[in-house]
Structure 1
Amino acid sequence: MKRLVVAALALVAAAGVGLQASAWGNTGHRLIGVAAARGLPAELPAFLRTPGAAAEIGELAREPDRTKGGGQPHDRERDTAHFVDMIDDGRIMTAQGLSIDALPRLKSEYDAALLSAGIEVDDAGYLPYAIMDGYQQLVRDFATWRVLHAAEARETDPGKRAWYREDRLRREALILRDIGYLAHYVGDGSQPHHTTIHYNGWNRDTPNPEGFTTSRQTHGAFEGAFTARVARLDTVERGMTAPALEGFDLRARVPAYLKTTLAQVTPFYALEKAGGFAESDPRGAAFVAARLSAGASELRDLIILAWRDAGDDAIGWPTVKVNEVEAGTADPWLAMYGDD
C-alpha cells in the first residue's frame, strides 16, 4: 500500500486538500459524473436524463473514496482499484510486467502474472478490472430495468404490475449508484497520475533526463486544490468529444483509454516544469479541462454502450431474454419474482 500512503501524505501537505487520496478530489469526480449524465442521448431512459439524476451521479461518483478505511479485507480490494501503474510502453510497473494490452481474463490471473514477475498487486493496481467490472454490472442493471419496464407496461394483474413498478424503482436507485461507481473509476482513468509509475513526482528510481519535479506534493496539489480552483462544468462539457460507439470491444476499449491517459504523463510534467500550473497561467486550467472532458466523454459512451448491450442480454432465473420481453413474446414473472 506504499503508493496510497505516499499520495495521502502529499494531500495532507497540499493546502486545502483532505486526508484521503482521491483522483480529482471531490470537484473533478463530480464534474465528470454530471457532464456525462447531461450528455446522455434520448435513447436512454428518462429517469437518467434529469437534473436530479445528473446531480445524484455526480455525488455518487465520490463514493469509492468515501468508503475507504473499513479495514481488511474491505480496503485491499478497493484501494488498489483506483490506479494502474504503467511504464511508458504500457507494461505494468516494469519491463517484466505484463502489457496493458494483454490482460488476463480474471483478476486472479492478473495477480498471479504480477507475482511471477516479482510485482505486488498492491503497488501495481487493477484499475482496468474495476472499469470492466463496473461496465458489466451496469449492463446487468439495464437488462433488469428493461425487463421490468416492459413487463409493467403490459401486465394486467394489479398485484404483479405493482410489484414490477416497485422493483423498477429499486433498480433505478441501483443504476444511479452503479453509474456513480463506474464514474469514479473512469474518472480515475483520466487522471495521468493514476496510470503511471510517476504517480507523485517523477519516480526517483528511474532516469529523469528532463529534470522533472520529484516533489511528493505533485499529485495531491494537482488533482485537489488546483483542480477545484480552475475546473468548470461548462468548460468540461465544451471539451467533450462526439460519442465513439462503433466496433466496441470492452477488453480492447479499456486499455486503449488508459493508454491515452498514460500518454499525458510526460506532457503534464513538462507543463509543470514550464510553470503551467501557476495561478495566472491558463495552460494548467486547459490541461485539467481536457482530462476531465476525456473522462466525461468515456463515461457517457460506456453508459450508452451498456444500455445497448443490455438489449441482447438475458436476466433472471429461469433466464428470460430482454428483447423477447420487450417484444411481448415472453412473460418474465417467474424470472423476476422467483419460483421457489
Structure 2
Amino acid sequence: RVVIVCGFTILAVTATGPAWHGPGHARATPLACAALPKDLPAFFLAGVETIAHCSQDPDLFRLPAQPELRDGEVPEHFMDLELLEGADLPPTRYAFVQLCAGKNLKPQEVGFVPYAVVEWTQRLTLAFAEHRKWPGNKHVRAKCLVYAGLLAHYAQDLCQPLHTTIHYDGRAKPDGTSPRSGIHTRVDALLQKTPVNRDKFIKDTRPVVFDRLLPAVAAELKRSHALVDRVYELEKQLPELQQPLPPGSAVEGFALERLQAAAGFTASLYLTAWRASAKLELPDWHQRKPR
C-alpha cells in the first residue's frame, strides 16, 4: 500500500504481499484445530487438511490477473488503524463505510479485515447450525471446512502487525509513501520457520468463546497493532527469506508468540461459531436433504 497525505486528504493504494505466506497459514491452522475441545464435530476435527488447504486461498483471490476480484479482495486483509485516529469500529461494515466517508477516507484504502473476520465467523456459525440440523449431509460438512479455512486466513492476517498499520513495509515517508524496505515479506515468513514443541504449544493454546464478536475481534486487532514498534525494533535481526531463525533469539520468541496468537485466535473463532450455532434457529423455509 502507498499512503499519500495531501492536505486533509489521505489516499492509500494497496499493493501488499500475502501475510504470513501460504505455509504460515498452513501451519497455524492445524495447530488451531488441534487446540479445540473435543465437543466440536468429529468431521471438523478430522478435516484439518482441508481446512488448512482452504486457509491459503484468499491470497489467490488477490492475483492481478483477475482485477475485478482483486479489487474487492485486497482490503479484506488489512486495516490501517492510524487513519481512524482512535475512532471505535462501528458494528457493521457499512456503518464503517459511513465513518470513513465522514473522515474523508476511502474505506477500501483503510481496510476491512476485522469485518471479514466477523462475517466469516458468522458464515461458519450458519454452516454449523445446518450441520446440527442435518448431521448426515456431506455437502454441509464440506462447506463447514471451506468456510473455516477462509476464516482462518483473515483471522491470522489480523495477527500480523504490519497488516494493521500505514507502516506496512518500512516506516512511511513524510509524504506518506512506503520505502518498500522488504520488512513485510521477512515478517510474513516467520511463522513457517518457527520451531514448535507441538504438545506444549497445544497445551498453552486455550481457545475461548467470545460473547461479543466484533469487540473481541477489535481487541485482537489492537493487540496486533501494539506490536508494530516491536517489529521495527527487531528489523535488523529479521532473517532473509531463505535463512532460518537464529535459535533462542528475540526474533524467534516474537515469531512463536505471533504463531500462538494466530492459532489461538483462530481456534477461539471456531469455538465461538460452534457454540453460537446451537442457539441459531434456521428459518422454516430453509431445507436441506438429510444426506
- Using the size of structure 2 for normalisation, the TM-score is 0.84
The aligned residue for residue 168 of structure 2 is: 199
2:208 is the alignment partner of 1:244: yes
Post-superposition shift, 1:23? 0.5
Which residue number in structure 1 is paired with residue 131 of structure 2? 145
1:173 equivalent in alignment to 2:142: yes
1:299 correspondence with 2:266: yes
Q: How far apart in 1 are the matches of 2:258 and 2:198? A: 11
Letter in 2 for 1:172: R
Separation in 1, partners of 2:70, 2:22: 20
Structure 2 equivalent of residue 12 of structure 1: none
Of 251, 257, 271, 1:284 maps to 251
In the other structure, the counterpart of 2:97 is 111
Aligned to 2:69: 74
Alpha-carbon distance, 1:237 to partner: 6.2
Give the CA deviation at 1:316: 4.0
Give 1:185's aligned residue: 154
2:62–2:70 CA contact under 8 A, matched in 1: yes
| Bigger helix fraction | 1
Q: Amino acid of the residue matched to residue 246 of structure 2?
A: S
In 1, are the aligned partners of 2:32 and 2:263 still within 8 Å (CA)?
A: yes
- The residue that corresponds to 1:64 in the other structure is 58
Give the direction of change, closer, same or farther, for the CA distance of 1:268–1:310 in structure 2 (3 Å limit). Answer: same
Task: Measure how far apart 1:170 and its partner are.
Answer: 0.4
CA distance in 1, matches of 2:80, 2:256: 23
Contact 1:193–1:199, Cα closer than 8 Å, also in 2: yes
Count of residue correspondences: 273
In the other structure, the counterpart of 1:332 is none
User: Is 1:49 the equivalent of 2:45?
Assistant: yes
Letter in 1 for 2:124: L
Larger radius of gyration: 1
SS of residue matched to 2:234: helix
Distance across 1 between alignment mates of 2:68 and 2:91? 22
Counterpart contact for 1:36–1:297, Cα < 8 Å? yes
1:44 shift after superposition: 0.4
Give the secondary-structure state (helix, strand or coil) at the position aligned to 2:81.
coil
Structure 1 residue identity aligned to 2:285: P
CA 1:235–1:189 in structure 2 vs 1: closer, same or farther (change >3 Å)?
Answer: farther
Q: Are residues 1:336 and 2:288 paired?
A: yes
| Counterpart contact for 2:28–2:263, Cα < 8 Å | yes
Q: Which residue of 1 aligns with 2:183?
A: 218
State the alpha-carbon separation in 2 of the partners of residues 66 and 318 from structure 1: 35
Q: Deviations over 1:111-135 (max 9, x none)?
A: 2221221212232100011000011
* 1:245-284 mapped onto 2 (5 Å cutoff): 245=209, 248-273=211-236, 275=237, 277=239, 280=246, 282-284=249-251
Distance 1:131 1:29 in 2: 15
Structure 2 unaligned residues grouped into runs of 5+: 3-11
TM-score where L is the length of structure 1: 0.73
Cα offset, 1:181, TM superposition: 0.4
Cα 1:215/1:75, change in 2 over 3 Å = closer
State the Cα distance separating 1:104 from its structure 2 match: 2.3
Note the alpha carbon deviations across 1:167-205, whole angstroms, 9 max, x for none.
x11011111100000000001011000111111111223
Kept after mapping to 1: 8 A contact 2:35/2:205: no
Q: Which residue of 2 aligns with 1:317?
A: 284
2-structure distance, mates of 1:147, 1:4: 45
Q: What is the alpha-carbon root mean square deviation over aligned residues?
A: 2.7
- Per the TM alignment, residue 32 of structure 1 is displaced from its structure 2 partner at its CA by 1.4
Match of 1:122 in 2: 108
- Cα deviation, 1:122-151, whole Å, max 9, x if unaligned, reads 3210001100001100110000000002xx
Partner of 1:158: none
